[in-house]
Amino acid sequence: KSPKPNITINNSQPMEGEDSLALTCEPEINYATYLWKINNQTILDGDRLKLSKNNRTLTLFNVTRNDTGPYECETQNP
């Protein structure tokens, strides 16, 4: 079983409504696919959400206090 991933955040004090926030799932695993969830709901690309190529980084634009999470990420190995 792979270790439980942890999430790093590029900005611990974002300005509400202005800053974007990048959440990165660690560790980086070659060929793995990352899956993001919030409150057990899978997160998909949206208006204010951008997922990187293999979903490892989740970017939230114009963060609000409703974006606090908790976020979870899972890795799926091929």
pLDDT tens-digit map of 24-54? 999 998 888 999 999 889 998 888 999 998 8
Q: What is the pLDDT of residue 22?
A: 96
Element (DSSP H or E) covering residue 36: strand 33-38
Residue with tokens 């695993």: 29
Q: pTM for this structure?
A: 0.86
pLDDT at 1 over 70: no
Spatial distance between the Cα atoms of 42 and 15, rounded to a whole number of angstroms: 25
Please state, as a whole number, how many other Cβ atoms lie within 10 Å of the Cβ of residue 23.
Answer: 20
Both tokens of residue 2? 């792979």
Domains contained in the chain, CATH given: 6-76 (2.60.40.10)
